[in-house]
Amino acid sequence: MTSDDSDFYGDDDTMADLKARVKELDVKEWWGEYENLNTPLKLQARKEATVVDRSQLHNPYAGLEYAWQLTETIEEFVVRVPPATTDVTPESRWIWVCNPYIRRKSKREASNQMIRGGEDEAPEEQGADLPSVVEGGMARLHFASEFIDVCKNSGGNPNFVRRECQKAGTDAAKDILDLAQTHRWMLFCTVFQVNEVWEIIAKATANNELGIGSKVAARSIGDRRTDRLICVYTADFTDTKDVRRVAKKLKQLGLIQTKGRPLYYKPDVYTYLGIAHGNPWKIRASIYDTTSMLKKA
C-alpha cells in the first residue's frame, strides 16, 4: 500500500542505494575511528571551556567574513553565510571551511593571492613556492605548444602527427603534476540542495574527516545555472590512499549516488595555468573520478 508521502525517501533506486549503504557500514569500525576524536564540534557541544585549547587549532582564514571561524559552531556559520542566498562580492566569490587540524599559511600571507586564478584556491602549505610552480608550468606548456605547432606543420602522416601531439600534451601534464600537490574533488548540487549539502561537508571538514579545506560557490547575480559547485581539497594527489579515503567518506555521507554522476578530481595547478576542458594540449581537466577510484577500493 502506498500513500501520498510514499516518495518521501526517494524513488526505488534511491531507496535501494540507501539500503545498500546501510549494509556496507561497519558500525564498530566507524565508532572506533570517531569515538576518540576530539573535534571542535564535540568540544563546543560539551561546552567544556577547560577542554577547548584553541592554541592547538588553526584557521588560515581567520577574520574573513565568508569563512568559518573557530569561535562559532558550523550550525551558526551556515546560518550566518548560507550559500543559497549569500551573494558574490568583489572580495569573496567562495565560502570556506578550513580543517583546523592542518596548519596552512594565512590567506593574507599566501603567495597564491598574487597569482591570477589562485586567489580562490586551497589554503597554501607552509613552505610552498607557487610562483615557481606556475612559472615552471607555463614554460612546460609553451614548450609543448611549440612542439605541437612544428608537428602539425610537418606534413607527416596524420595518424602519426595526432599520436605525437597527444603524447606531447600527456608528457606536459605529467611534468606539471610533478610540480604541484594540492587538488580537489568537485561536487555539483542544485541551488535548492546547496545549504543542506554544504552543511554536511562543512561539518565533516571541521571534524577532520575530509581534507585540508572545502569551499562552496556563493550566489552570482545573473547566473542562470541551477548547479552550484562545492570543492573538497586534499593535501597531496600522489597520496592515493588519502584521496580514496576522502572519496569513500563523501560516499558514506550520501553525497555520491551509486547510479548518479561521478565526482571528478582536478589539480589546482591546472586552474593557475588556465587548463580547462577543450584546452589546446588535449590535457584532461581531471585526473581521477569516484567511479574508478571507489571500484578499485
Dihedral Cα 209, 213, 216, 218, nearest 10 deg: 140
User: What structural domains does the chain harbor?
Assistant: 9-297 (3.30.760.10)
Q: Tens of pLDDT along 194-235?
A: 999 999 999 999 999 999 999 999 998 877 777 899 999 998
- What pLDDT score was predicted for residue 8? 39
Integer Cα distance of 103 and 57 in angstroms: 8
Closest CA to 256 of 205, 186, 199, 184: 186
Q: How far is CA 276 from the centre of its chain?
A: 16
CB 239 within 8 A of CB 158: no
By 3-state DSSP, what share of the chain in percent is helix, strand and coil, each rounded to 5?
40, 10, 45
pTM of structure: 0.73
CB 250 within 8 A of CB 12: no
Q: Tens of pLDDT along 164-197?
A: 999 999 999 888 888 777 788 999 999 999 999 9
Backbone angles phi, psi at 71, to 5 degrees: -85, 0
Integer Cα distance of 113 and 110 in angstroms: 6
Residues in the chain: 297
Per-chain mean pLDDT for the chain: 81
DSSP state of 263: P
Closest CA to 219 of 95, 86, 91: 86
Cα–Cα separations (whole angstroms), residue 115 to 10, 59, 171, 174, 284 = 44, 21, 24, 22, 22
Q: Tens of pLDDT along 146-161?
A: 999 998 888 888 899 8
Amino acid at 233: Y
- What pLDDT score was predicted for residue 41? 56
CB 137 within 8 A of CB 281: no
Low-confidence ranges of the chain (pLDDT < 50): 1-10, 48-52
Cα–Cα separations (whole angstroms), residue 243 to 176, 188, 210 = 19, 18, 9
Strand blocks (E) in the chain: 94-98, 183-190, 213-217, 227-234, 264-267, 288-289
87 beta partners:
219
> Residue 291 is placed in which grid cell?
567511479
